[in-house]
C-alpha cells in the first residue's frame, strides 16, 4: 500500500496543502487512497479531477480510487425491450435539477438490497448541496409519477465527465429511466463518460464497462480538457 511516508499507513490528507492529493498516491486493494480532510469545494474538485471520491460512514472521511473502474459511455446505455416500452409510454415525468435536496435525501434513506445504512450523512448532504446552489457542478435527474417524486440520481460534473454519486427508486425502473434520460442529455452535450465509481450488477446491466485505473485516468484527463459549465440544467 504505497500511500505515504507514514510506515505504510494510509495517507492523511491536509486540506490546506497544495496539492491536497499528491500525484504519487496509489490505492490499496480495496481502492482506499487517503483518509481525513474535509468536504470543501476545493478538496472535492481536486479529488474528482484525479479520479478520487469520498465514501464513508462517519469520521474520518475515506477517499477511494477504485480499480477496476466502471464507466458508462452515454451513447452505449443498454435499454431493454421492457424499459424501451416504458420510455415510449411516457409513464414518468423527468426533470433536471428539480428537487435536488429531496433527491439526495432519498438516495441516502431509501433502502438498498444487501446494503446497511448510507454514506450520505449530514456533512455530505450539505457539501453537495452547496456545490449545486453556489457552483452548479452537482446536478440531479428527478423522475415523477402522477406528480410524486419516485426515482432519480445525482452526481458531479467537471469538463465532459459526469461522476455518478447515487440513485434511488421508489417504483420499479424509475432509476433506470433517470439514467437513460441522463445519457440522452449528456450525448447532446458531448460528454465523454459517466464515472460509475463502484462496480455493481445494476450498472453493468445498463451497459457500463470496466476499465483499469490507468485506462480510466487517461480517459478522465481527456474529459477534463473541456471547460466546466456553471449553470442549472433546468435552464435549458
Tens of pLDDT, residues 91-131:
999 999 999 999 999 999 998 765 555 778 899 999 999 99
52 and 166 inside one domain: no
Residue 120: per-residue pLDDT? 84
44 and 80 inside one domain: no
46 and 78 inside one domain: no
- The residue whose grid cell reads 462496480 is 199
Q: Which of 22, 47, 65 is the last residue of a domain?
A: 65
Q: In this structure, what CATH number is given to the domain that contains residue 83?
A: 3.40.630.70
Cβ atoms 188, 74 nearer than 8 A: no
Q: Which of 65, 87, 107 is the last residue of a domain?
A: 65
79 and 46 inside one domain: no
**Number of compact structural domains in the chain:** 2
Q: What is the DSSP string of 114-167?
A: TB-S-S--HHHHHHHHHIIIII--EEEEEEEETTEEEEEEEEEEETTEEEEEEE
Residue 150: per-residue pLDDT? 98
The Cβ of residue 55 has, within 10 Å, a number of other Cβ atoms equal to: 17
Q: Which of 40, 65, 90 is the last residue of a domain?
A: 65
Tell me the three cell numbers of residue 35. 483518509
Q: What is the CA radius of gyration of the chain?
A: 17
pLDDT tens readout for residues 33-81: 999 999 999 999 999 999 999 998 668 899 999 999 999 999 999 999 9
**Structural domain of 38:** 1-65
60 and 85 inside one domain: no
Amino acid at each position: 500500500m504505497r500511500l505515504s511516508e507514514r510506515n505504510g499507513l494510509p495517507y492523511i490528507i491536509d486540506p490546506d496543502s497544495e496539492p491536497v492529493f499528491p500525484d504519487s498516491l496509489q490505492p490499496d486493494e480495496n481502492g482506499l487512497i487517503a483518509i481525513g480532510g474535509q468536504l470543501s469545494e476545493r478538496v472535492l474538485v481536486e479529488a474528482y479531477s484525479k479520479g478520487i471520491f469520498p465514501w464513508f460512514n462517519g469520521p474520518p472521511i475515506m477517499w477511494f480510487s477504485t480499480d477496476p473502474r466502471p464507466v458508462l459511455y452515454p451513447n452505449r446505455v443498454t435499454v431493454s425491450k421492457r424499459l424501451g416500452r416504458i420510455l415510449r409510454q411516457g409513464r414518468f415525468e423527468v426533470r433536471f435539477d428539480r428537487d435536488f435536496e429531496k433527491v439526495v435525501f432519498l438516495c441516502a434513506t431509501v433502502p438498498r438490497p444487501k446494503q446497511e445504512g448510507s454514506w450520505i450523512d449530514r456533512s455530505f448532504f450539505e457539501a453537495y448541496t452547496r456545490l449545486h446552489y453556489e457552483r452548479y457542478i452537482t446536478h440531479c435527474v428527478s423522475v415523477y409519477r402522477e406528480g410524486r417524486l419516485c426515482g432519480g440520481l445525482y452526481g458531479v460534473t467537471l469538463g465532459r465527465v459526469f461522476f455518478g454519486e447515487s440513485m434511488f427508486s421508489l417504483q420499479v425502473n424509475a432509476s433506470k429511466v433517470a439514467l437513460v434520460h441522463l445519457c440522452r442529455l449528456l450525448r447532446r452535450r458531448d460528454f465523454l463518460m459517466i464515472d460509475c465509481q463502484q462496480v455493481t450488477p445494476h450498472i453493468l446491466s445498463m451497459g457500463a464497462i470496466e476499465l483499469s485505473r490507468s485506462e480510466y485516468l487517461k480517459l478522465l484527463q481527456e474529459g477534463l480538457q473541456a471547460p466546466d459549465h456553471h449553470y442549472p440544467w433546468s435552464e435549458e
